Protein backbone atom coordinates (compact mmCIF):
# COMPACT_ATOMS: atom_id res chain seq x y z
CA UNK A 1 0.00 0.00 0.00
CA UNK A 2 1.54 3.27 -1.11
CA UNK A 3 -0.92 5.82 0.24
CA UNK A 4 -0.70 7.05 3.82
CA UNK A 5 -3.21 8.76 6.03
CA UNK A 6 -2.48 12.38 6.87
CA UNK A 7 -2.27 11.43 10.55
CA UNK A 8 0.61 9.05 9.72
CA UNK A 9 2.76 11.74 8.07
CA UNK A 10 5.66 13.32 9.99
CA UNK A 11 5.01 16.79 11.42
CA UNK A 12 7.06 19.79 12.55
CA UNK A 13 6.31 23.09 14.28
CA UNK A 14 6.74 26.30 12.25
CA UNK A 15 9.61 28.48 13.49
CA UNK A 16 7.64 31.66 12.75
CA UNK A 17 4.01 31.07 13.79
CA UNK A 18 4.41 28.06 16.09
CA UNK A 19 1.72 26.01 14.36
CA UNK A 20 2.26 22.34 13.51
CA UNK A 21 2.44 21.38 9.83
CA UNK A 22 2.66 18.05 8.02
CA UNK A 23 5.11 16.63 5.48
CA UNK A 24 4.37 17.45 1.83
CA UNK A 25 5.46 15.68 -1.34
CA UNK A 26 7.28 18.81 -2.57
CA UNK A 27 9.46 18.71 0.58
CA UNK A 28 10.38 15.04 0.07
CA UNK A 29 14.09 15.65 -0.60
CA UNK A 30 14.58 18.62 1.77
CA UNK A 31 12.39 17.68 4.76
CA UNK A 32 15.32 18.04 7.20
CA UNK A 33 15.83 21.66 6.08
CA UNK A 34 12.17 22.77 6.16
CA UNK A 35 11.51 25.19 9.06
CA UNK A 36 8.46 27.19 8.02
CA UNK A 37 4.90 26.09 7.17
CA UNK A 38 4.54 28.56 4.28
CA UNK A 39 6.27 31.17 2.16
CA UNK A 40 4.37 33.82 4.10
CA UNK A 41 5.93 32.69 7.39
CA UNK A 42 9.35 32.44 5.75
CA UNK A 43 9.13 36.06 4.51
CA UNK A 44 7.67 37.39 7.76
CA UNK A 45 10.46 35.81 9.82
CA UNK A 46 13.12 37.72 7.86
CA UNK A 47 11.60 41.11 8.81
CA UNK A 48 12.07 40.65 12.58
pLDDT tens digits for 20-40?
999 999 999 999 999 999 999
Contact indicator for 41, 19 with CB cutoff of 8 Å: no
46: pLDDT strictly greater than 70: no
Which tops the pLDDT comparison, 46 or 1?
Answer: 46
pTM of the model: 0.76
CA nearest to 9, candidates 28, 30, 23, 29: 23
Amino acid sequence: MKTRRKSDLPTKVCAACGRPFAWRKKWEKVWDEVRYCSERCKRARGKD
